[in-house]
Amino acid sequence: MIKPHGSDTLNPLFVQDDAKRAALLKEAEGLPSIVVSSAAAGNAVMMGSGYFNPLTGFMNRADALSAAVNLKTTSGLFFPVPVVNVVKDASAIKGAKRIALRDPNVAGNPILAIQDVTAIEEFTDDEMKQMTEKVYRTTDPEHPGVAAFNSVGKFCISGPIQVLNFSYFEKEFGDTFRTAYQIRDEIKERGWNTVVAFQTRNPMHRAHEELCKMAMEAVKADGCVIHMLLGKLKKGDIPADVRDACIRKMVELYFPPNTVMVTGYGFDMLYAGPREAVLHALFRQNMGATHLIVGRDHAGVGDYYGPFDAQTVFKEEVPAGSLLIKIFEADHTAYSKKLNKVIMMCDGKDHQKEDWVLLSGTKVRAMLAEGQAPPPEFSRPEVAKILMNHYQAEAAKSNA
């Protein structure tokens, strides 16, 4: 199996021993505590799950700046984004060497992790701007990732952590949430060697379905892990439970048995385009995938990134050998009326506009809200039905 990033074996930071975890939870109740940001909570869940291997905790100021600017920490470890615990006010933990991190996304703010504090440092405005520009390629406050990154404060609390639970993800998405080590175990149990990973924050239509099949065929994969983001999204994105239902129905009906794992991970979307694509590759390697599909406008939002910037970043910015996982580069895919199947549009050079079934996201959402299914060439009817029910329920709520 492919090795994890930065170490020979995966080192998740979740405390798996029940007795030790219970003792730490008891200790945490007596420690100084802070309610962390949703982003920091997601970082903790990802470290607990093993996706951010080989990190042992939150980065300090120097490592965060170096990761943003140079895609590596000060020690030379390749890492494409800062992984930080940043707050607006750290006065509640001033002088503390060990603190409890409380979950902002669960009622009552239960303890999520314990952190040993190695430093509390403040980013300057210029440093925040520099990190923002490097990671997001923009400082536009209308960009949802930029807005989130700059809203949580400038005090950086660094140090190793012990993760004590997986926030709301295990309870709300019990059938779907999986840690990197759980996925590795299942890949091993299935006897898969070559594994394609597909990242999604949306329901999967015909083009996505066929893209997974194309990638699997091209690299002769034993299986595909459809890996959906379960954390916070921007307004208007489809809720995780609806996406989950759509994807499971598609896999059940349109993929051969035992060729696909439907899983999810607990993290908030960054919408960082190219830089987030590199991060996606890193944690797919940590979960055991050998290939990641990177398509048009991967992890993008609006018009902030070029359609294939998330592919060129691996050639232009990621040093050779930084990651073992390979990238399957995909073009925009659509149904060809000429060939009666979904193909990559780069393979339809003889096609005219009328030879494709092309629908904008706005058009599709409007059709679904009106109870009208998109053409079967665009969306499987069983998937469209789930989405129609969702959009009609949303419309009914807004009209109530």
Residue-wise pLDDT tens digits, 255-300: 999 999 999 999 999 999 999 999 999 999 999 999 999 998 999 9
What is the pTM assigned to this prediction? 0.93
Evaluate whether 18-167 and 175-265+269-358 have a shared fold.
Answer: no
Whether residue 250 is predicted with pLDDT greater than 70 in this model: the reply is: yes
Query: How many secondary structure helices (H) and strands (E) does the chain include?
Result: 13, 15
Which of 11, 109, 202, 389 is catalytic? The answer is 202
Residue 181 has what pLDDT?
98
State how far the Cα of 282 lies from the Cα of 53, in Å rounded to an integer: 9
* 378-386 average pLDDT score: 93
Residue 53: active-site member: no
* Structural class in CATH, domain 175-265+269-358: alpha beta
State how far the Cα of 301 lies from the Cα of 314, in Å rounded to an integer: 19
Residue 287's φ and ψ, nearest 5 degrees, are -90, 0
* 216 HSE (CA, 13 A, CB side): 19
Whether residue 396 is predicted with pLDDT greater than 90 in this model: the reply is: no
- Let me know: does 357 contact 337? Beta carbons within 8 Å: yes
| Residue 165: strand, helix, or coil | coil
Confidence of residue 366 (pLDDT cuts 50, 70, 90): confident
Residue 394 has what pLDDT?
83
| Alpha carbon separation from 205 to 69, 211, 243, 327, 335 (Å, rounded) | 36, 10, 11, 21, 11
Paired with 120 in beta bridges are 157
Domain ranges in the chain are 18-167, 175-265+269-358
Residue 98: active-site member: no
CATH no., domain 18-167: 3.10.400.10
Which of 98, 190, 201, 365 is catalytic? The answer is 201
Angle, in degrees to the nearest 10, between helices 274-286 and 125-136: 80
